Structure 1
Amino acid sequence: MEDIFSADRVERVAALRSSGIEPYPARVPKNRMLAAEILALGEKNYGTEVRVSGRIMGRRGYGKLAFLDLVDGSGRIQICLQKEHLSDENFALLGQLNRGDFIFVEGEFKATDKGEPTVYGNSITLLAKSLLDPPEKRKGLEDPELRARLRYVDLFTDNEVQKRFLARSALTEAVRKELLSRCFVEVETPVLHPLYGGAFARPFTTHHQSLDMELFLRIAPELYLKRLLVGGIERVFEFARVFRNEGLSTRHNPEFTMLELYQAHTDYAGMIEIVEALVPAACLAAGNDKLTATWKNQTWSLEPPYPQKAYGELFLEHASCDIHNESAVHTALKEHNISVEGDDEGAWWKAVNDLFEATVEPTLQDPVFVIDYPAPVSPLAKVSPNDTNVAERFEFFLGGMELGNAFTELNDPEQQLANFEAQAVSSDPDSPRIIDRDYVRALAYGMPPAGGLGLGIDRLAMVILGCDTIREVLLFPHLRPEYGAEA
């Protein structure tokens, strides 16, 4: 790994240690102020003694005078260091400092001749020596791949990147606050599952050495959360890291954050009301002045209520055939190069839904609830009492992208077992092959009527923050490793 370090900076570390200065001290000086706090003192407090620490991101002048741009989590402040105000040891240390180094400065807060608020240092302490030269802050990292790979550099060289991730954190916290105000309880459920379910997706697998058993990284927390409804906790939610062993795209990452919530004694109409509260709360918390989102050169109002459109009607409009006209659907599938992978009902309806995704979803630009999904593609939802061919389910779309999925939850244990058994023999390769009998047993003890919702936090952040790809809202998206596994 030595080849990744700057040879000049490694030499500087050696020189510092030989002079008795530890480049990475274990203890740091106390009572530091943030740059923003110092600047807030204002002109009336010029002459105040202050203590500040941060990363050097700019340096001007050498010899007996140097100006440094010092950056911390609150912002930037200028430091002026003059030989006449430093000890010999500190002046020698100044000569070894580079951009990227962390230092602690004590000095007097006042203005330069040009009027810029500045800390005139009389003491400097090295906190951490940087062994690589950071990019120029005004340029940052320009290559998207490199930005994602070196996110730690991207964050401290581009203020907008840091603001974006702080905004993502704020919108997540706003969603949490809204749910807590509604008496929901935040919980944690297992990440390692003995069976996988709650979604149609291929799992990642691992092996438990002590128990000698195969486990799966969860593809959804749904079945554990609904067990809590059985247990009497009537409103639950989890910000869950979920894992799906599928492709990468501008909208897909194999590891992502899903909000899932379940509420007893309501239905999917209750989930619509919750979406119409969470989305505006997230939008405003992210720093938007209005309830609007601008994404890929389009701007949408996020002011609720959002319209509702039936799955079958949208299918007829955009796929140009009736969803129940098998011959016409076959023709449309061929036109879009979608094949039916099997001869069972599950394979047929998966192909129908693939056709919906290809023809309808790109048109769903404004916020909309697509309701009345076909029952065969909704095995965890109740069917409509008015039409047993459709489920009480909606998906929430914005910008042609699914952001949320909700059901009136199926709580009939016999019907749930039958649905699981149908999944187990389906020719759909993503259909779960194992029946979760413990979940069926939980339902057999009685689960209250409930509504449930899954909301993709990454995609919600993409749209609200105006990011073209999911990578831009993930601190560390998945990439091929740059280095091998050798020691």
Structure 2
Amino acid sequence: MSEDEANLSALEAARRQKMQQLIDMGIDPWGQRFDNHIAIADVRAQESKITEATETVDGKETTTYNGPKVRIAGRLVLMRSAGKLIFADVRDRTGQIQIFIGQNQVGERNWQIAQCLDLADIVGVDGELKKTKTGELTVFVEELHFLTKTLDPPPEKHKGLTDPELRQRMRYLDLSHTDGAIERFVKRTEIVKSIRQTLSNQGFIEIEGPTLHAIAGGAAARPFITHHNALGMELYMRIALELHLKRLLVGGMERVFELGRVYRNEGISPKHNPEFTMLEVYQAYGDYRSMMDLTEAIITDAIKAIGAAFELPYGETLVNFTPPFQRRTYAELFHENTGINPEDDAAVKLYAINLGLDTEGKHPDVIRNEIFEEKVEDQLKGPIFVMDYPASICPLTKRKTDNPAVAERFELFINGMEVANAYTELNDPDLQDKLFRTQLEGQSEEDSMAKMDHDFIRALRNGMPPAGGLGIGIDRLVMLLTNTQTIREIILFPLLRHEASQE
């Protein structure tokens, strides 16, 4: 056993000894129901109720405080003992406050309970909200309630959980001991709540589509495959929400959305997690410009919901979300950032070769898009709507009436990161059938959309109204609005490799 392991065992043994002392006192070390406590933030808001009185004793002025009775519950995050006095900090989801435990003030039983306290234990407190001589807002304990004994010592205050993977693997410790961790996930909740409210206010209906699909469709991605024993068939974890939502447009549900998890069996990076949250929205009788307006509303409402200004930091950049967002065409940005005419196939191919890109057997539009991803996207600080993509790389998108080579599609980029993707939806069943078949050519069985979704084509033949469709990556949006640099810091439980000890 190493010295660190021996020390840890000794610390745990000491905590277990205190747990036994509580049991011997007739106290449940795992706590009981504790009603009527109030949030620490609400307690701190009562500071104005504290009254102050000054009296002179032996020629010295003494200030005394009287305040409201309060009841709080939370985790001990700091303790300082001085003889018959204990000062400690208690933290709950809303904030942190100091408590004072004096042996003469709380009585013998409460003092005995206090001797069993360790950092990270969970306690309840009844007391009076006052101030110390130094003016610090403090709950002066009158009754101490033991609610949970923590057997493992918490991370050291100054070292903390500095390893990102450890914080993500042990999210419970990250939330309880890392400043700002809970607040970040609370903001995520507020953003998602705001998105639902914005859509509801505009008449959209939230639905729940299937997460197990017989055909992996709606995006170009590799799916996770599972097996249904009773039916004896392979199924796919959904890679997109699109095709089922469009079926609802056919059925007459004119404004629908789903906000849920999708799964893509692909790599992990600061911007990618195999399991992530998507919003998809479909509006009958709209188009991709309708979706631009809706996207602006969703994002600006979300910023208001978390109490932020429209100018937000992201790393070393300030992003200005004041609407309207900039709108530029794909072709304009391609030419601006490469100096190449995007319609000159020969020049585009030569430029790609000079970049070291593989061009063999690739459609010119695919080559163009690889150059765009390499040279243009990182320059898009935004927020900026990139409009009018090459039609051949957009198989679910309606073409421009006056230029069938261009699709009515936009992607929203913010600080070089794609956040949203939207189309004027293709509702011509014959063209959709043709494009599906073209896309399937040469794909292996393990790739997405390697099977034709015949039922979707059948649905289109029954008449889908002209429509706009929108997809927003919720995780990436939360990253941008909370100044978080990696997607795994705004997903509570991101996918991680097995711990070495468990392999």
Same fold (TM over 0.5): yes
Higher mean C-alpha deviation, range 304-313 or range 53-62: 304-313
Equivalent residue runs for 1:67-466 within 5 Å: 67-136=87-156, 140-289=160-309, 291-340=310-359, 343=361, 345=363, 349-427=365-443, 430=447, 432-466=449-483
Question: In 2, are the aligned partners of 1:283 and 1:292 still within 8 Å (CA)?
Answer: no
Q: Tell me how far apart the structure 1 counterparts of residues 109 and 483 of structure 2 sit (CA, whole Å).
A: 50
Change (3 A) 1:295 1:52: closer
For structure 2, list consecutive stretches of 5 or more residues without a partner in the other structure. Answer: 52-64
Greater Cα offset, 259-268 or 69-78? 69-78
| Change over 3 Å in CA distance of 1:15–1:149 after alignment to 2 | same
CA separation in 2, counterparts of 1:425 and 1:87?
81
Does structure 2 conserve the Cα–Cα contact (< 8 Å) formed by 1:392 and 1:407?
A: yes
Tell me the equivalent position of 1:24.
Answer: 30
**What is the rounded CA distance, in whole Å, between the counterparts of 1:401 and 1:114 in structure 2?**
49
CA distance in 2, matches of 1:127, 1:288: 36
The percentage of counterpart residues that share the same residue type is: 43
Report the Cα distance in structure 1 between the residues aligned to 2:331 and 2:442, rounded to whole angstroms. 23
C-alpha displacement of 1:32: 1.5
CA distance in 2, matches of 1:151, 1:332: 46
- Aligned equivalents of 1:119 and 1:199: distance in 2? 56
Find the aligned partners of 2:250 and 2:77 in 1 and give their Cα distance: 56
Deviations 1:59-114 (A, max 9, x none): 11154221121111222222222223445443222111101001112233333333
Shift of 1:485: 5.0
Q: Is 1:482 aligned with 2:491?
A: no
- How far the C-alpha of 1:321 sits from its partner, in A, is 3.1
> Where does structure 1 lack aligned partners over 5 or more consecutive residues?
none
| In structure 2, distance between residues paired with 1:310 and 1:283 | 26
The change in CA–CA distance for 1:49 and 1:365 in structure 2 (over 3 A counts) is: closer
Maintained 8 Å contact 1:366/1:398: yes
Instruction: Provide Cα deviations, 1:429-453, integer angstroms capped at 9, x if missing partner.
Output: 8552011111111111111110000
Cα deviation code 1:215-257 (max 9, x no counterpart): 1111110111111111111111111211111111221111111
Q: Aligned with 1:360: secondary structure?
A: helix
Task: Say if 1:365 and 1:440 are closer, same or farther in 2 by CA, change over 3 A.
Answer: same
Aligned residues, how many? Answer: 480
User: What's 1:37 paired with?
Assistant: 42
- Cα RMSD, aligned residues only: 2.4
Q: Do 1:423 and 1:431's aligned partners in 2 also have CA atoms closer than 8 Å?
A: no
Counterpart check, 1:10 vs 2:16: yes
Instruction: Kindly state the Cα deviation for residue 411 of structure 1 after the two structures are TM-superposed.
Output: 0.8
Q: Which amino acid aligns with 2:270?
A: T
DSSP 3-state at the match of 2:400: coil
Deviation of 1:19 after TM superposition, in Å, equals 4.1
Per-residue displacement from partner, 1:395-427 (whole Å, max 9, x unpaired)? 111111111111010111111111111122144
Q: What does the per-residue CA deviation read over 1:375-397, in whole Å, with 9 as the maximum and x for residues that have no partner? A: 11100011110111111111111
Q: TM-score, length-normalised on structure 2?
A: 0.89
**Letter in structure 1 aligned against 2:431:** Q
TM-score of the pair, normalised by structure 1: 0.91
- Check conservation: 1:167, 1:287, Cα contact below 8 A: no
- Structure with more of its chain in strand, by fraction: 2
- Provide the C-alpha distance between the structure 1 equivalents of 2:69 and 2:327, rounded to a whole number of angstroms: 62
* Inter-CA distance 117–312: structure 2 relative to 1 (3 Å threshold): closer
| Residues 250 and 470, structure 1, Cα contact 8 Å, conserved in 2 | yes
Deviation at 1:340, TM superposition (A): 4.1
CA gap 1:47/1:282 in 2 versus in 1, 3 angstroms = closer
| 1:11 alignment partner AA | Q
- In 2: Cα distance, 1:286 partner to 1:212 partner: 47
Q: Is the 8 A contact 1:36 1:74 kept in 2?
A: yes
Tell me the alpha carbon deviations over residues 241-283 of structure 1, each in whole angstroms, 9 at most, x when there is no partner. 1111111122111111111100001111111111222222222
- 1:138 offset after TM fit, Å? 6.3
